[in-house]
C-alpha cells in the first residue's frame, strides 16, 4: 500500500453531480462495464493466472533511468511484504500505477505480471484521496482526525472497486487464489464472488479495524461488511482487529459468527458460504534486511552517516511516512522537553527524523507537515549549535540500502505511532541490528507491540512516560540492550514475510477447497445459480450414504442445535428447519428406519423442540437421560442410561449437594468477573451449562478460564467444553454412551449420526470403534473431527436426509 501521492498531477477541483439520495443503501450488484468509463483500462488481457494479487497500487514507481523513464519497485508496507512472494509464485498483480488518466498495457517486471488499472483524475480525487484516505483512513485509525463522509466519494469507491474486481475476474484462472489487499478495496471480494464464484478469495486488511462504536459512524457500513464477507478468508493484523470485525458483523448484519467463522447467508447472486476470519500479523523480508546490514558497503555508509551528523554518542532515529497517525509530533515534543530539561544534550545526542512524503494534497497531511516543520525549526533554533543540529529532518524518500544504513547507524529507534496496523519500520530496525545492540522504543498502539514485547513499550500520548523511555533507551547498559535485542531478533527472524504469506495462502487454499467440496460451483461461470440442496453434498458423502443406507435396520441419530436447527444467539429460540422435520417424518414412516435425537439439552426440552415422528427415541443431557418408549412394548418405557425408570433421572441427595456446591462456585465466578459476568447459566436436572454465546471472545476467554478452575476444584463433576458452552454434570455420560445404548436397544445394523459440536466427537469416536455395519458419522461445519464425512450446514443436513429417503425407497422397490 504505497501511499506516496507526490507523483500525482491531478486537479483538485471537483464539481461532479450530487449523488442520488439513499443510493448508499441500495443492495450491491455488479454495474455493467458500460456504466464505467474507466473500465477500459481494467482488462487483464487474455492470460490467466493461478495466483492474483489485487492492491490499490502496483508495486512499482516510474523513475528516470539512463535510457529514459522506467519502472522500479517502490517503497511501502505492502510492496515490501509481497514482492518476494510474487517472485516465487510468478503471479499477476492488479493495481494502479500512481498517475491519473493513464492507459497502460499489462507488462512484466521482475518475474511479476503487472496489470494496470486506470484511475481518472476524479477517481484519484474521490476514491483514493477522498474515500480511502480522508474517510476510511482516519476512521480506521481511532479518528485521530475527523473522517469526512461524502456520497460522491462513496460512489467513486464503488465504481473503482468494481473496476478492480473486473480486472481480477479477467486475470484469474479457473479456481485461482485471489488475494485482495487493504482498505481501499473492501468491496472487491463481494463483487468478485458474484463475477467468479469459482475462485478462492482472500482479503487482508493492513490497517487496524476499528471498534464497532467508531465503525458504526460509516454511513455505508453494511455495504463494506457485505463486500468483505464475499471473501473465503478475511485476515487482520491483530486479534483485536479480528474481534472488532466480527463484532461489527454481528451488530450490523446480525450474522452468526461462530468461533472464527461467519455464516454468510445466500443472496440473490450467491449461495450461502462460510467466511473465515483470523489474525495474520505481517512481517518483513528479515533475511534480506539482515544480509543488507552485513554488507560492507552499507556498514561503511552507516559510519559515514554517523560522521556526517558529528559522531554523537547517541544517534536517535525516526522513520515514517509523513502521516498524523505516526506520532511524529509527540516524539519531537518529548525530545524537545528532554533537551530543555537538560536530561539530553546536543553535545552527545542527535536525532534524525526521516519523514517520507505522503498524500501531500490532503489538508490534514499539509497540516501535519506544517506542525512537524514548525517543531523541528523551533527545536533547532533553540538547541542547535554550529555543526551540531539537534534534529536532522529529511522530508525525502531513500533507496532501501540507504534506509538499512540509517537503521545500522542508529543507537535508539523511536516508533511512537498513535495507531498503526503493524509498523514494519520497527521490525526492519530489529532485523538490521546484526550486532545485537540498539534499543527500540515502541508504541503500544502498533500491531508490532503484540509481538515485540522486549522493546521499551510506550504510550505516546503520555509525554512524561515517553521522555522516561527515551532516557532509559539512551542510558541502557549494553548487556540489557543485547538481551532485549537478541529476543527481538529471534522473533523477527522466525516470523518473516514469506511465512506470513504462506500461512495466509495455505489457510485460504484450505477454506476455499472446503467451500468447493460443499458447494459444487461451476468452474467458469458468469453468474451462479443457487445450488440445489442435493448438489451441495460432497461426492464422498453421497457415496458413504449409499453404503450406510443399504443396511437392513438403519438408525438415524441426530443432534439438535446446529444440525436440525440453525444456531441462533439465544438457544431458547432455536427451532428445526421445517423441511428437515418433514423429511424425518417420511423416513420414520419407512420400514426398518429408526430415528433418534441426541443432544446435550435436557430430555423434556429436547422432546418439546424436535417435532418428532411417532416411534422416535431420545437421548438428552448427553445420554444421561434416555427415552426409548418409542420402541413400544419391546423396550423398557422411559429409562435412564442404565435402563432404570424415569424417576432416576432426578438427582440423588448426593448429586443435589454437588449441584449446590457448583451453583455457589458459579455465583462466585460471576462476582469475580464483575462487568464481565454476563455468562448465562442454564440449570439442568443433572448439571449446569454455562453459555457464552454473544460475548466478545476476550470476555468469553475469561469465563472459560474460571470454569476450568471450577472444574479442577470439583473433580467429581464431569466437565465438557462445547462450542460457546461449558458444561458441568453430576453423572458421567457422553453422546458416545448414548450411541452404545441406542445400538443395543434398537438392534440397528448401521447408524448414521450427524452432529456439529465438540460433544458429538464422542459419538463419532464410538462409531469408529464399534459397529458391525457401515456406520457413518457426519460433521456439520468446520473444525477438527473424527467423523468420516463433512457437510456444510443444517440445509445440507436436509439434503443428506432427502438422499437417505431416496436410497431407502429405491432399495424397498427393488
Ligand atoms: C501500512 C500500515 C503496516 C518508508 N520510507 C521509505 C521506505 N519506507 C518503507 C519502510 C517500511 C514501509 O515503507 C512503511 O511501512 P509501515 O508499516 O511503517 O507503515 P505504512 O506505510 O503506514 O503501512 C502499517 C503496513 O501497511 C504493512 O502491512 O505495517 O501499519 O499502516 O517498510 O521501510 N522505504 C524506502 N525509502 C523510504 O524513503 N526504500
Residue nearest to ligand 1 atom 25, measured at CA: 77
Task: Convert the pLDDT of each residue in 541-581 to its tens digit.
Answer: 988 999 999 999 999 999 999 999 988 767 778 888 878 88
Residue nearest to ligand 1 atom 30, measured at CA: 421
Q: Could you identify the atom of ligand 1 that is nearest to the CA of residue 76?
A: 13
Closest CA to 413 of 402, 423, 426: 426
pLDDT of residue 4 exceeding 90? no
Task: Convert the pLDDT of each residue in 391-400 to its tens digit.
Answer: 999 999 999 9
Return the bridge partners of 557, or none. 596, 753
Mutation test residue for ligand 1: of 6, 57, 60, 75, the one with most atoms within 8 Å of CB: 75
Question: Superfamily for 528-649+733-813?
Answer: HAD superfamily/HAD-like (3.40.50.1000)
Report yes or no: 167 and 43 within 8 Å, Cβ to Cβ.
yes
pLDDT band at residue 622 under the 50/70/90 scheme: confident
How high is the pLDDT of residue 814? 66
For residues 413-422, give the mean pLDDT: 98
Work out the percent of the chain whose per-residue pLDDT is above 70: 87
Q: Does residue 751 sit in helix, strand or coil?
A: strand
pLDDT of residue 179 exceeding 50? yes
Cell of 429: 530496525
Q: Does residue 205 sit in helix, strand or coil?
A: coil
Q: Are strands 789-791 and 261-264 parallel, antiparallel or unpaired?
A: unpaired
Task: Convert the pLDDT of each residue in 96-119 to its tens digit.
Answer: 999 999 999 999 887 789 999 999
Is position 592 annotated as part of the catalytic site? no
Q: What dotted CATH number matches 653-729?
A: 3.30.70.1020
pLDDT band at residue 679 under the 50/70/90 scheme: confident
Cell of 759: 460433544
The rounded distance, in Å, linking the Cα atoms of 111 and 83 is: 10
Q: CB within 6 Å of ligand 1 — which residues?
A: 1, 3, 75-78, 80-81, 206-207, 282, 321, 356, 397-400, 403, 420-425, 428
pLDDT band at residue 17 under the 50/70/90 scheme: very low
> Please, what is the average pLDDT of the chain?
86
How high is the pLDDT of residue 300? 98
Task: Convert the pLDDT of each residue in 494-537 to its tens digit.
Answer: 878 888 988 999 999 989 988 777 664 333 333 333 333 334 68
pLDDT band at residue 676 under the 50/70/90 scheme: low
Of residues 710 and 632, more confidently modeled: 710
Stretch among 354-368, 492-506, 590-604 having the lowest mean pLDDT: 492-506
Cell of 749: 445394523
Residue 424 CA to ligand 1 center (angstroms) comes to 6
Task: Convert the pLDDT of each residue in 692-713 to its tens digit.
Answer: 887 777 778 888 888 988 998 8
Q: Does residue 512 sit in helix, strand or coil?
A: helix
Closest CA to 306 of 321, 317, 295, 318: 317
Residue 505 CA to ligand 1 center (angstroms) comes to 22
The rounded distance, in Å, linking the Cα atoms of 6 and 811 is: 74
The rounded distance, in Å, linking the Cα atoms of 594 and 615 is: 8
Question: Superfamily for 33-116+162-279?
Answer: Glycogen Phosphorylase B; (3.40.50.2000)
Sign of the C-alpha dihedral, residues 292, 298, 303, 309? negative
pLDDT band at residue 420 under the 50/70/90 scheme: very high
Q: For residue 21, give every residue at least 6 positions away whose Cβ sits within 8 Å of its Cβ, in sequence order, or none.
A: none
pLDDT of residue 132 exceeding 60? yes
Q: ∠95-101-104 over CA atoms, to 5°? A: 55
What are the residue boundaries of the structural domains of the chain, listed by start? 33-116+162-279, 286-495, 528-649+733-813, 653-729
How high is the pLDDT of residue 522? 35
How high is the pLDDT of residue 641? 41
pLDDT band at residue 632 under the 50/70/90 scheme: confident
For residues 454-470, give the mean pLDDT: 97
Q: ∠722-576-273 over CA atoms, to 5°? A: 70
CATH of 286-495, one of 3.40.50.2000, 3.20.20.70, 3.40.430.10, 3.40.47.10: 3.40.50.2000
pLDDT of residue 453 exceeding 90? yes
Q: Are strands 617-620 and 593-598 parallel, antiparallel or unpaired?
A: parallel
Q: Does residue 722 sit in helix, strand or coil?
A: strand
Residue 80 CA to ligand 1 center (angstroms) comes to 8
Is position 714 annotated as part of the catalytic site? no
What ranges make up the beta strands (E) of 313-450?
314-321, 349-356, 391-394, 412-415, 439-443
For residues 176-187, give the mean pLDDT: 97
Q: Could you identify the atom of ligand 1 that is nearest to the CA of residue 80?
A: 32
Mutation test residue for ligand 1: of 423, 443, 492, the one with most atoms within 8 Å of CB: 423
Report yes or no: 679 and 703 within 8 Å, Cβ to Cβ.
yes
Task: Convert the pLDDT of each residue in 242-291 to its tens digit.
Answer: 999 999 999 999 887 777 889 898 877 778 889 999 999 999 989 989 99
How high is the pLDDT of residue 32? 57
Burial of 386 (0-12, 13-18, 19+ CB in 10 A): exposed
- Largest distance between two CA atoms of the chain: 106
Residue 407 CA to ligand 1 center (angstroms) comes to 14
For residues 175-196, give the mean pLDDT: 96
Please pick, among 181, 206, 273, 330, the residue that the annotation labels catalytic. 206
For residues 676-689, give the mean pLDDT: 82
Return the bridge partners of 319, or none. 354
For residues 755-784, give the mean pLDDT: 86
How high is the pLDDT of residue 15? 26
How high is the pLDDT of residue 29? 55
How high is the pLDDT of residue 9? 24
Q: At what angle do helices 735-746 and 761-769 cross, to 10 degrees?
A: 50
pLDDT of residue 43 exceeding 70? no
For residues 374-388, give the mean pLDDT: 96
Are the folds of 528-649+733-813 and 653-729 the same? no
Cell of 155: 460512489
Residue nearest to ligand 1 atom 20, measured at CA: 77
Return the bridge partners of 108, or none. 113
- What is the reported pTM? 0.67
Q: For residue 407, give every residue at least 6 positions away whose Cβ sits within 8 Å of its Cβ, in sequence order, or none.
A: 293, 317, 319, 413, 428, 429, 432, 433
Work out the percent of the chain whose per-residue pLDDT is above 90: 60
Of residues 689 and 733, more confidently modeled: 689
Burial of 634 (0-12, 13-18, 19+ CB in 10 A): exposed
Stretch among 415-424, 600-609, 695-704 having the lowest mean pLDDT: 695-704
Which residue bears the cell 490497517? 207
Report yes or no: 465 and 458 within 8 Å, Cβ to Cβ.
yes
Residue nearest to ligand 1 atom 1, measured at CA: 77
Q: Are strands 261-264 and 257-258 parallel, antiparallel or unpaired?
A: antiparallel
Residue nearest to ligand 1 atom 7, measured at CA: 75
Residue 398 CA to ligand 1 center (angstroms) comes to 12
The rounded distance, in Å, linking the Cα atoms of 144 and 460 is: 13
How high is the pLDDT of residue 80? 63
pLDDT band at residue 25 under the 50/70/90 scheme: very low
How high is the pLDDT of residue 774? 86
Q: What is the CA radius of gyration of the chain?
A: 31
Residue 53 CA to ligand 1 center (angstroms) comes to 19
Q: What is the DSSP letter of 385?
A: B
pLDDT band at residue 47 under the 50/70/90 scheme: confident
Mutation test residue for ligand 1: of 424, 432, 444, 495, the one with most atoms within 8 Å of CB: 424
How high is the pLDDT of residue 780? 92
Please pick, among 420, 495, 496, 760, the residue that the annotation labels catalytic. 420
Return the bridge partners of 179, or none. 53, 202
Cell of 387: 555543526
How high is the pLDDT of residue 518? 67
Burial of 94 (0-12, 13-18, 19+ CB in 10 A): buried
How high is the pLDDT of residue 78? 64
Amino acid at each position: 500500500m504505497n501511499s506516496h501521492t507526490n507523483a500525482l498531477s491531478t486537479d483538485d477541483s471537483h464539481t461532479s453531480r450530487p449523488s442520488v439520495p439513499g443510493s448508499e443503501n441500495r443492495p450491491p450488484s455488479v454495474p455493467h462495464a458500460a456504466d464505467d468509463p474507466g473500465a477500459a483500462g481494467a482488462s487483464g488481457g487474455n492470460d490467466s493466472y493461478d495466483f492474483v494479487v489485487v492492491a490499490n497500487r502496483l508495486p512499482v514507481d516510474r523513475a528516470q533511468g539512463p535510457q529514459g523513464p522506467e519502472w522500479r519497485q517502490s517503497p511501502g508496507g505492502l510492496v515490501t511484504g509481497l514482492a518476494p512472494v510474487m517472485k516465487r509464485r510468478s503471479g499477476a498483480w492488479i493495481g494502479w500505477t500512481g498517475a491519473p488518466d493513464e492507459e497502460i498495457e499489462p507488462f512484466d517486471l521482475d518475474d511479476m505480471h503487472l496489470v494496470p488499472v486506470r484511475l481518472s483524475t476524479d477517481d484519484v480525487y474521490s476514491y483514493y484521496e477522498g474515500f480511502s484516505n480522508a474517510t476510511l483512513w482516519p476512521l480506521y485509525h481511532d479518528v485521530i482526525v475527523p473522517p469526512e463522509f461524502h456520497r460522491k466519494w462513496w460512489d467513486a469507491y464503488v465504481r473503482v472497486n468494481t473496476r478492480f474486481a473486473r480486472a481480477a475476474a479477467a486475470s484469474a484462472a479457473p479456481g485461482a487464489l485471489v488475494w485482495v489487499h487493504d482498505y481501499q478495496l473492501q468491496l472487491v471480494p463481494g463483487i468478485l464472488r458474484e463475477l467468479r464464484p469459482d475462485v478462492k478469495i482472500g482479503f487482508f486488511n493492513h490497517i487496524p479495524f476499528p471498534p464497532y462504536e467508531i465503525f458504526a459512524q460509516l454511513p455505508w457500513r453494511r455495504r463494506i461488511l457485505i463486500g468483505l464477507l464475499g471473501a473465503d478468508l478475511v485476515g487482520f493484523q491483530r486479534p483485536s482487529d479480528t474481534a472488532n470485525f466480527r463484532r461489527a458483523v454481528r451488530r450490523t448484519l446480525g450474522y452468526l459468527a461462530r468461533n472464527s467463522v461467519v455464516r454468510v447467508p445466500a443472496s440473490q447472486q450467491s449461495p450461502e458460504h462460510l467466511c473465515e476470519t483470523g489474525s495474520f500479523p505481517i512481517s518483513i523480508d528479515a533475511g534480506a534486511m539482515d544480509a543488507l546490514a552485513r554488507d560492507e558497503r552499507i556498514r561503511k555508509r552507516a559510519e559515514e552517516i554517523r560522521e556526517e551528523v558529528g559522531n554523537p554518542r547517541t544517534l536517535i532515529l525516526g522513520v515514517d511516512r509523513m502521516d498524523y497517525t505516526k506520532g511524529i509530533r509527540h516524539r519531537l515534543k518529548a525530545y524537545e522537553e528532554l533537551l530543555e530539561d537538560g536530561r539530553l544534550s546536543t553535545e552527545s545526542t542527535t536525532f534524525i527524523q526521516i519523514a517520507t512524503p505522503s498524500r501531500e494534497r490532503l489538508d490534514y497531511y499539509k497540516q501535519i507537515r506544517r506542525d512537524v516543520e514548525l517543531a523541528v525549526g523551533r527545536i533547532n533554533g533553540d538547541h542547535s549549535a554550529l555543526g551540531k543540529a539537534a534534529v536532522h529532518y529529511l522530508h525525502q524518500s531513500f533507496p532501501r540500502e540507504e534506509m538499512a544504513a540509517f537503521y545500522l547507524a542508529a543507537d535508539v529507534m523511536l516508533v511512537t505511532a498513535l495507531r498503526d496496523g503493524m509498523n514494519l519500520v520497527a521490525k526492519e530496525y530489529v532485523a538490521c541490528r546484526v550486532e545485537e545492540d540498539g534499543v527500540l522504543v515502541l508504541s503500544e498502539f502498533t500491531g508490532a507491540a503484540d509481538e515485540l514485547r522486549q522493546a521499551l513499550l510506550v504510550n505516546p500520548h503520555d509525554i512524561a512516560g515517553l521522555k522516561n523511555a527515551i532516557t532509559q533507551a539512551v542510558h541502557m547498559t549494553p548487556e540489557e540492550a543485547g538481551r532485549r535485542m537478541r529476543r527481538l531478533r529471534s522473533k523477527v527472524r522466525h516470523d518473516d514475510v514469506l511465512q506470513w504469506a504462506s500461512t495466509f495462502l495455505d489457510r485460504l487454499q484450505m477454506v476455499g477447497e472446503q467451500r468447493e467440496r460443499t458447494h459444487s460451483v461451476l468452474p467458469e461461470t458468469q453468474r451462479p445459480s443457487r445450488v440445489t440442496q442435493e448438489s451441495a453434498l460432497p461426492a464422498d458423502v453421497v457415496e458413504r450414504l449409499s453404503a450406510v443406507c443399504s443396511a437392513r435396520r438403519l438408525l438415524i441419530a441426530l443432534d439438535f442445535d446446529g444440525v436440525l436447527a440453525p444456531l441462533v444467539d439465544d438457544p431458547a429460540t432455536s427451532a428445526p428447519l421445517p423441511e428437515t422435520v418433514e423429511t424425518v417424518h417420511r423416513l420414520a414412516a419407512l420400514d426398518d428406519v429408526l430415528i433418534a435425537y441426541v443432544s446435550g439439552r435436557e430430555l423434556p426440552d429436547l422432546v418439546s423442540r424436535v417435532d418428532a415422528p411417532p416411534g422416535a427415541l431420545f437421548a438428552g443431557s448427553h445420554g444421561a437421560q434416555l427415552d426409548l418408549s418409542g420402541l413400544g412394548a419391546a423396550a423398557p418405557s422411559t429409562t435412564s442410561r442404565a435402563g432404570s425408570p424415569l424417576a432416576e433421572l432426578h438427582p440423588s441427595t448426593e448429586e443435589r449437594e454437588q449441584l449446590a456446591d457448583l451453583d455457589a462456585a458459579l455465583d462466585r465466578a460471576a462476582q469475580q468477573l464483575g462487568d464481565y459476568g454476563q455468562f448465562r447459566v442454564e440449570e439442568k436436572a443433572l448439571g449446569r451449562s454455562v453459555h457464552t454465546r454473544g460475548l466478545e471472545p476476550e470476555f468469553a476467554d475469561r469465563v472459560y478460564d474460571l470454569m476450568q478452575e471450577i472444574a479442577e476444584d470439583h473433580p467429581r463433576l464431569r466437565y465438557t467444553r462445547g462450542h460457546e458452552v461449558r458444561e458441568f454434570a453430576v453423572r458421567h455420560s457422553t453422546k458416545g454412551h448414548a450411541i452404545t445404548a441406542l445400538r443395543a436397544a434398537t438392534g440397528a445394523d448401521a447408524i448414521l449420526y450427524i452432529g456439529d459440536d465438540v460433544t458429538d466427537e464422542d459419538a463419532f469416536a464410538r462409531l469408529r470403534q464399534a459397529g458391525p455395519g457401515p456406520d457413518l458419522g457426519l460433521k456439520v461445519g468446520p473444525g477438527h473431527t473424527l467423523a468420516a464425512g463433512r457437510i456444510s450446514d443444517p440445509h445440507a443436513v436436509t439434503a443428506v436426509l432427502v438422499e437417505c429417503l431416496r436410497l431407502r425407497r429405491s432399495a424397498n422397490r427393488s
